[in-house]
Chains A and B, each alone.
Chain A
Amino acid sequence: MPSPSILVPRRRFLQGAAATGLLAAAPGLLLAKAATTRRFVFVIQRGGADGLETVVPYADPAYARLRGAIALDPAALAPVDGLFGLHPALVETARLHAAKEALFVHAVASPYRDRSHFDGQNVLETGGATPYARKDGWLNRLVGLLPGSGEAIAITPTVPLALRGPAKAGSHAPSALPQAPDDLMQSVRQMYAQDAQLHALWSAAMESRGMAGAPVKQNPAELGALAARFLAQPAGPRIAMLETGGWDTHSFQPTRHANQLKSLDAMLAALREGMGAAWADTVVLVATEFGRTAAVNGTGGTDHGTASVAMLLGGAVDGGRVLGDWPGLAPQALYEGRDLQPTTALDGLIAAAAGECFGIEPALVERTLFQQGAAGKPLPRLLRG
C-alpha cells in the first residue's frame, strides 16, 4: 500500500499556496492534471443498504447472535479476509475484488446521524453537514472542478439531487415511447427558444439522445451498459450517476436484499463490460444514506441504522482491500446501542477518491464538495498511482 505520507507535504504546500492567493493567479497549477481520461461514476443505493449483509463481518463474534435467523452462513460467502466475506449474490464484485479492482470501506457514514431516508439522502447528495443546508449536489460541484468540457450524465429520467447545480448535467433513461415526428421536434425547439428553462432542457435532451444510440430496456444491466455507452466515448461525459432503490429491508430481508445485490452486481458487470479499455481509467463509488440496525428486528428484517459499507470499483482502483477501522459489533461498540458505529467519514472518502481520480488536490475537492472537513485520520491512497 503506498504510504499516505507522500501526499501530506504536497497537500500542506497547496493549502498554504491557496491561502496566499498564489493559486488564484495560477489555476493551471491545480488543474493541469485534471484534463483527463479518468471517469468517475456514483451509484447511489436509496433506502439504507445493509452493509452488514453486503461485506459481511462473519468472524465478528457478535455477528451470528445479532442477526439470528437471517445471519448468512460463512461458508457461502466469497472470501475477502479473515473478518469479512462478500454476500454470495455479488459474483462480479467478488471477481473484481480478486482482480484487485474492488475496495471496500466499512463503517462509513455521512455526517447525518438521524434515521430519516429523505434527510439522509439529502445530506448524502448535497454534501451538506445537515439536511437542506445546500441546494446543489456534490457531484455537480465536482463537475465544476473539471476543466473545459466538464459534463455529467445521470442515467435516470430526472437529474438526481447529487448532480443538480450550476454545472452542466444531463439525464437520460430508456424510453418505450415512439419518437415524435421530426417536424414537430423542430417546431418545439423554436417554440422554446425564448423560454430560458425549456430551451436549456431541450438542448440537453437532444445532446443526450444523440449520444445514447439505440434504445435499451429499463433493467439494471441495461442501465449499466447505457452509462458505459456515454462514458466510453472519447469526448463523452467524465462523470455519471446511476440510481438503485429498494434497499429498505424492514422485513423478509434475506430474499429482498439478495435480489438487490444481484441487480447491483449485474449493473456493475454491464458497466465494466461496456467500458472496455476505458475501465482502466474508471472509478465507481457505491454508497447509501445510512446502514441498518445491527440486530435483526421482529419481522425478519432490519430497521434504519447508521454506518454502512461503501465500495470503490474500477480498473483505476487499488483494490483487494477492506479499509476503515472496524468498530466491532459488541453491545458497547454499537452506536446508540443499536447501529454499526461510524469510524470513517463518507465525505472524506468521496473527496479522496474523486481527488485522486482527477488529480485534483484532495483538500480543494473536500472544501468544494463538502460542508465540513472530514474528521478522523486521513485515508491511505485509494487508487493506483
Chain B
Amino acid sequence: MTASTGMHAAIALNRFGVGARPGEPVPADPKAWLLGQFEHYQPRPAAWAALPTSASLVNAYAEYQRGLRGPDELAARQQLGKASQENLRSAVSARVASALETPAPFAEHLVHFWANHFAVSTDKAPLGLLAGAFEAEAIRPHVFGRFEDMLLAVERHPAMLLYLDQPRSTGPESGAGRRAPPERRRGLNENLAREILELHTLGVRTGYSQDDVTELARALTGWSIAGLPGLPQGGSPGNFAFFPALHQPGARQVLGRRYEASGEQQVAAVLADLAARPETARHIATKLARHFSGETPPPALVERLAQAFLASRGDLPTVYRALLESPEAWAAESRFKTPWEWTLSALRGLGWREPGRLPLAGTLTQLGQPVWRPGSPAGYDDMDQSWAAPDLLVRRVEVAARLAAQAAPMLDARTLAPQLLPGGVGAATTTAIARADSPATALALLLASPEFLRR
C-alpha cells in the first residue's frame, strides 16, 4: 500500500466512518468502500428494533403526569426519573451497538450528524424517555432519503413537539383560545417556530424577522400529541395529532409567501418551502462540510454541496456523493474527535461487537458529551476547541486505561496500530508504545495517541 492510499484509507475509516476494527481488511479503494455503504445502511437494525416506540413512551409519560397531580406526587416523580434513566441507558446501548455492528459505518456517522442537527436534550423531562425513539423513528429512516421528509418527520415527532413546547401552543383566536377565561389565558409559544427557522432550516441571520417567527408559530398551532392531559380528546394516544380547536384560523404570511388556511396542512406547506430554500441548502452544506473537512470549511466545497442539495431537491445521498467526490474532504487537515467519536472508535478498535454491561452513558457524561444531552436545541457545537480541553483530555486517558486493561490479554498494540491507523503514526507514538511497561499501558497509549485522538 502506498503512503497516500494508506492515508486515504485512514480518512475513510476514521473521518467518514466511526473507526477501524481489528482483523478487518483496510479498504483498497476507500472512496468506493464508502459509496458502497449507501446500499448497506440499516435504518432499523436489530439493536434498535427491540426498543419501545415513542407512542408507548408518551403514554407512559402521560400516566406519570396524571400521577403528579395525585396524592403521591413524590412517588410518581421518582418513578419517572427511574424509568427515564433505564430507558436512556438501553437507548444509548442500542445506539452504540448499531455503530459497533454496522456494515455501513459512514451511514452511522451520518445518523449521529443528523441527530445532532435536529437535537433534543434529555435535560427536559420527557426526553429522557423519548430521545432514543426520536432518533430511531424520525432520523434513521430518512438519512438516505430527502431532507424535506426528515424535516417533516422531525417536526411532527412527539419528542420534538414536547422538547420545544409545541403541544399546548394555542392560537389566540382559535376555539380554545377564545373560550379560555382571562385568568387562564392561552396563547402562542414560539419556541418550535424559532428553532425551525434558526436551527433546522434557514440558519440564523438569514433574513427572517420576528414576524416570520410569530406567523410560523401561529401556523404551527394545533400540531400536538394525542392523549396528554389538558388537551383536546381524539387521535391515537401517544402519537402526533392535529387539534383544530387550538389552531389559529386564517391565512399566514411567512418570508413573503402567503399560505391559505388549510388546517394541519398549512404549516406542512411552509416546511416544504423552507426545505427547498437556498438558505437551507447553504446551512446544511456548511454544517456537513465543517463536520467532514475542517472547522472552517473551504467555500468552494460548501458551494458545491449547496448546489447538489438544490439541484437534487434535497436528495441526501446526492449531497453525500458530492462530498465524497470533493478533494477538500480528503485533505490532510484533521478534526479533533468528539468524545462520542473517540469512545466509539476506541470500542471498535478494541474489537467490541456490543456494549454489554459497559456503563457508556456515564462514561460519555464524564468525557463531556452526554448522549442526547447537548443542553440546547442547537446540539453540540462542531468546534475542535469544545473538545480539545485540558481536563477532558486527561479523562480520555483515564477511560483509555480502563478499556485497555479489559482488552489487553487479547490485543497487541504494536500490531493493532497499523490496522487502526493505516495512515501511519509518528515517532512519539511508536516510541511510547514500544517502551510501555505492559500490554495494557501500550494499548492505552495507542488510544490516547495524537493520531487516534484525531480523525
Which positions in A face B, CB cutoff 8 Å? 46-47, 68-69, 114-119, 131, 157-159, 164, 170-173, 175-181, 183-185, 187-188, 190-195, 197-198, 201-202, 204-206, 208-209, 245-246, 248, 250-251, 296-299, 301, 303-304, 336
Contacts and interface: CB of A to CB of B under 8 A. Distances in A.
A118 B199 CA distance: 10
A191 B434 CA distance: 12
A175 B191 contact: no
B29 interface: no
A227 B448 CA distance: 28
A204 B389 CA distance: 9
B39 interface: no
A180 B444 CA distance: 10
B145 interface: no
B70 interface: no
A145 B172 CA distance: 53
A159 B385 contact: yes
Contacts of A173: 391
Contact of B385 (A158, A183, A204): A158
Contact of B428 (A194, A296, A301): A194
Contacts of B362: 176
Max chain B Cβ within 10 angstroms of own Cβ: one of A116, A201, A297, A298: A298
A299 B168 contact: yes
A126 B207 CA distance: 23
B435 interface: yes
Interface in B331-389: 362-363, 366, 368, 375-376, 378, 385-389
A181 B404 CA distance: 12
Contacts of A192: 428, 450
A183 B194 CA distance: 52
B187 interface: yes
A184 B397 contact: yes
A299 B375 contact: no
Contacts of A158: 368, 385-387, 389, 392
A88 B445 CA distance: 52
A157 B338 CA distance: 13
Contacts of A193: 428
Nearest to A295: B187
A34 to B, nearest CB: 26
B204 interface: yes
A164 B388 CA distance: 12
Interface in B44-94: none
B395 interface: yes
Question: What is the predominant secondary structure among interface residues of chain A facing chain B?
Answer: loop
Nearest to A164: B385
B376 A205 contact: no
Contacts of B437: 183
A298 B441 CA distance: 58
Given A201-B389, A204-B390, 18 more contacts: A131-B204, A157-B368, A157-B392, A158-B387, A177-B363, A184-B401, A188-B432, A191-B432, A194-B428, A201-B393, A205-B393, A245-B123, A245-B375, A298-B186, A298-B187, A301-B165, A303-B191, A304-B194
A208 B189 contact: no
A1 B399 CA distance: 55
Contact of A177 (B385, B395, B448): B395
Contacts of A176: 362, 366
Interface in B143-183: 164-165, 168-170, 172, 177, 183
B184 interface: yes
B414 interface: no
A299 B165 contact: yes
A116 B198 contact: yes
B435 A187 contact: yes
Nearest to B377: A117
A116 B210 CA distance: 11
B432 A187 contact: yes
Contact of B395 (A175, A185, A208, A298): A175
A303 B189 contact: yes
A298 B445 contact: no
A117 B375 CA distance: 12
B190 interface: yes
Q: How large is the interface on B (under 10, 10 to 19, 20 to 34, 35 or more residues)?
A: 35 or more
B453 interface: yes
Nearest to B393: A201
Given A175-B395, A178-B402, A208 B450 contact: no
A187 B441 contact: yes
Given A131-B204, A178-B402, A188-B397, A205 B390 contact: yes
Contact of A191 (B165, B170, B386, B429): B429
Contacts of A206: 394
Contacts of A299: 165, 168-169, 186, 189
Contact of B398 (A117, A178, A187, A251): A178
A178 B177 CA distance: 55
Given A157-B368, A205-B394, A191 B445 contact: yes
B168 A251 contact: yes
A115 B210 contact: yes
Nearest to A121: B376
Given A197-B388, A208-B391, A303-B190, A180 B375 contact: no
A184 B445 contact: yes
Nearest to A181: B401
16 contacts: A46-B376, A69-B184, A115-B210, A116-B194, A158-B387, A171-B391, A172-B390, A177-B366, A177-B399, A180-B400, A185-B397, A190-B428, A191-B428, A246-B375, A298-B188, A304-B194
A170 B449 CA distance: 22
A298 B210 contact: no
B258 interface: no
Contacts of B366: 175-177
B143 to A, nearest CB: 24
B269 interface: no
A184 B444 contact: yes
Contacts of B444: 180, 184
A157 B186 CA distance: 40
B205 interface: yes
B436 interface: yes
B189 A250 contact: yes
Given A119-B204, A205-B394, A180 B401 contact: yes
Contacts of A197: 388
A119 B208 CA distance: 15
The 7 closest A-B pairs by CB, nearest first: A298-B187, A205-B390, A158-B389, A204-B390, A191-B432, A157-B368, A180-B401
B165 A250 contact: yes
A288 to B, nearest CB: 14
Nearest to B451: A195
Interface string B417-455: 000000000101101100111000100110011100100
Max chain B Cβ within 10 angstroms of own Cβ: one of A119, A176, A180, A248: A180
B40 interface: no
B431 to A, nearest CB: 8
B389 A187 contact: no
Contacts of A183: 437, 441
Max chain A Cβ within 10 angstroms of own Cβ: one of B394, B431, B436, B450: B394
A180 to B, nearest CB: 4
Interface in B91-119: none
A46 B381 CA distance: 15
A343 B79 CA distance: 47
A118 B401 contact: no
A147 to B, nearest CB: 24
A250 B388 CA distance: 33
Nearest to B123: A246
